[in-house]
Amino acid sequence: MKKTYVLDTNVIIVSPHALLSFEENEVVLSVVVLEELDFLKTERGESGVNARQAIRILEALRQKGSLQDGVMLPDGGTLRVELNCEDGDMPAGFGVEKNDNRLLRICMHIQKQGHPTILVTNDIVLRIKAQMLGIKAEGFTTDQVPQTDDQYRGRREVFVPESAIQHFFKEGIDPTVIYQDEAEGPFQDPVLNEFFLIRNDCNLKHTVLGRFNGKRIVPLETLNATPFGVQPRNVGQRFLQEALMAGVDQAPLVIVKGMAGTAKTFYALAVGLEKTMEQDGIFRRVMVVRPNTQFDDDIGFLPGSEQEKIAPLMRPIIDNLEILVDRNEHERYKDERELRGKIEELFDRGIITCEAMNFMRGRSITKTYLVIDEAQNLTPKQAKGILTRVAKGTKLILLGDPMQIDNPLLDERTNGLAYASEHMKGSPLCWQVTMNPDECERSSLAADAILRL
């Protein structure tokens, strides 16, 4: 049976292609949605771009027929624009002056005509209100990835017979002999470039670390490395170091997920500085980009240069650099001017640059160690866009915590970091690792808080 999907504006400004994603079913837009798209089309940033794209899609459909009567879509469905149903009754407390309630009134109107109706919105409160009125509501699921617990982690803990582990450093381990705890379910085949903590099943304290190269699980190559003087302190950081230090031809994309305090940004910067300053200039520079957590609040109106405008967003990067440029914890902050001078020198020499996500469109970034920090605030479209900016000799690192999202239009299943992680899983060019909560190294208090709160 065909269904009728009523789309909210917030779905379209994140995924304009949602207009064409409901197969043979009917898609309904309210005049309210058209008005909001018209308002957003002049906005700068991602919502303005997507609003204009959606309008162009609607214009192409309009040329095929009447949008009010309904126009055929490529997959066999139809799209039409519904008027505001002024004659529809709404329960007390649902004032029709609110756009959300006008959408609900259209849903009620269509539902009363006997058509199975579903409101598609990323607004959780609107979904709650729809349920109160007996209207089925759901989020836009085409770009959704699995729940957090089911997302790809890039690492596993497994067991092998003692005979297999004895020859690990010479021959690697055949993945057919490994197994995992029964509580974690049946063992799934290794994913290319997946990391493994391997335990000797006769002596659980005897462990080795490896990576699946497509044929065998092989030893890590950077266990003794100390990029920019930094030493890994736990298993997760050893996996992280291996991925970050792998050559750009071998691992041009690294995706790191994890909670605050697990040294994602710190380690990424350390390796970037090592490869830019110490290893014969493998990269021209370290470029750090952070999405504007206000999503579409344009920084263009702010006074000053681009660097001055984005300085508040980059303060966490400066905090990490303060530790990296002066490893002496007891002397580091005795001369704040000297410390600040060391960091300013990195920027003045162009070793490190900071850029706003707003200005990344159209770029072609070559021979650069490119760090996208707080990547969970990217939309899937932005994540795809940044991946397509990477040119020859550039290594891209996506860092973030899918559980700490500031973008009001995203969640742990629709953000660009998780989207990229799931879609790049198994790529020979992508290495991934998820840091565990107990691998927090920020401070004893931070580690304890992560586990307790």
| pLDDT for the residue numbered 88 | 58
Question: pLDDT per residue over 344-381, tens digit each?
Answer: 999 999 999 988 776 676 677 899 999 999 999 998 88
Contacts of 88 by beta carbon, 8 Å cutoff, 6+ apart: 105, 106, 108, 109
Question: pLDDT per residue over 107-127, tens digit each?
Answer: 988 998 889 999 999 898 999
Residue 200's H or E segment, with its range, is strand 195-200
Angle formed by the axes of helices 380-387 and 46-62, nearest 10°: 100
CA–CA distance, 352 with 343 (Å, rounded to integer): 9
| pLDDT for the residue numbered 297 | 46
Query: What are the residue ranges of helices labelled H in 45-198?
Result: 46-62, 99-112, 124-132, 162-166, 168-171
**CA 355: distance to chain centroid?**
18
pTM of the predicted protein model? 0.82
Q: Which of 284, 255, 242, 300 is nearest to 399 (CA)?
A: 255
| pLDDT for the residue numbered 77 | 93
Intra-chain end-to-end CA distance of the chain, in Å: 46
- Residues 205, 192 contacting (CB under 8 angstroms): no
DSSP assignment of 9-34, as one string?
A: HHHHTT-GGGGG-STTSEEEEEHHHH
Contacts of 155 by beta carbon, 8 Å cutoff, 6+ apart: 194, 195, 196, 197, 236, 239, 433, 434
| pLDDT for the residue numbered 238 | 97
| pLDDT for the residue numbered 228 | 93
Domains of the chain: 4-138 (3.40.50.1010), 148-219 (2.30.130), 233-452 (3.40.50.300)
Segments of 307-367 assigned E as strands:
352-356
Ranges in the chain, pLDDT < 50: 294-297, 301-302
